Amino acid sequence: MSDTASIRSIGIIGAGQMGNGIAHVCALAGYDVILNDIDQGRLDAALKTIEGNLARQAARNKISDVDRADTLARIRPTLELAEVGKADLVIEAATEDEALKKSIFQKLTEHLGPETLIASNTSSISITRLASITDRPERFMGMHFMNPVPMMKLVELIRGIATEDTTFNAVREVVKNLGKTSTAAEDFPAFIVNRILLPMINEAVYTLYEGVGSVDAIDTAMKLGANHPMGPLELADFIGLDTCLSVMQVLYDGLADTKYRPCPLLVKYVEAGWLGRKANRGFYDYRGDVPVPTR
């Protein structure tokens, strides 16, 4: 598939926070989108989220009402994985769990057309390992979108050891058509953004764990002292503490360096089910009108 124009339809597996954002930007750019999930409730919630986000863009005159209607019309939800296999490019955006992703790729492979490209939105897992589960490692690569997808400009592109140039070029062209900027990263644990960002968040949790500062003090210090738009603990809650822990474990296991050891306090919060915004509690408690630090 050296002809990048041959990618007209994009299948997306997973209708969560990342999947619905990817569906939004792909449909807005003119691609036909097949959005898949195993849960009808999640598909319904995803379409509602996309509709709300498009309405906000229209209200700010970023897009027209015609664009909004056309974008929604291009997204087709489905519970059937076989439907996704009909797309020219399939992007997997399931939970950051290697065993889950591998099982999805195993099931997906039998439904793919011979020319179909596959990309994973993994934020940390080896592309080479994921590609090896499929029948087409040369047509497989990493396509790591940032959260929230409609607002964030970057997409990290990661080649596996077998990824061909035609695959890389075709996917890079898609990123360009989405109005986003791509950076190429090598297939090492957590790639570029999370290799730098997550150890910083983990260090912020250690700073809290060791009593160097409170949640409020740490976030205020980094916002005003380093000009970060969001403090590291607030950002961890936004990302999801389970995702933060998962990336740190990938770094720790993959690079065998103690500097990547997940902070025990981060582990404790995840064990408690305090996963951040999505659970209404993390380093902040979101159940009231204003977020309140939990330490």
Taking Cα atoms as reference points, which of 243, 242, 244 lies closest to residue 203? 244
Say if residue 180 carries a ligand binding annotation: no
Residue 16 marked in a binding site: yes
- 200 near 244, Cβ under 8 Å? no
* Catalytic-role residue among 20, 126, 156, 164: 156
Annotated catalytic residue 203 = no
144 is an active site residue? yes
Give alpha helix (H) positions in the chain.
17-28, 40-59, 65-73, 81-84, 98-109, 127-131, 165-177, 193-209, 215-225, 232-239, 241-255, 264-272
**Residue 194 designated active-site:** yes
101 is in an annotated binding site: yes
**CA 235, CA 128: separation in Å to the nearest integer?**
29
**18 annotated ligand binder:** yes
Write down the catalytic residue from 120, 121, 123, 246. Answer: 123
Known binding residue 278? Answer is yes
Q: Is 213 annotated as a binding residue?
A: no
Q: Is 219 annotated as a binding residue?
A: no
How does DSSP assign 47-109, residue by residue?
HHHHHHHHHHHHHTTSS-HHHHHHHHHTEEEES-HHHHTTSSEEEE---S-HHHHHHHHHHHH
Asked about 132 being catalytic, the answer comes back as no
| Annotated catalytic residue within 36, 92, 144, 234 | 144
Q: Residue 41 annotated as binding?
A: no
Catalytic residue among 126, 194, 202, 246: 194
Please give the annotated binding residues for NAD(+), written as ranges. 14-19, 37, 96, 101, 123, 147, 278
Annotated binding-site residue numbers: 14-19, 37, 96, 101, 123, 147, 278
Query: Which residues carry out catalysis?
Result: 123, 144, 156, 194
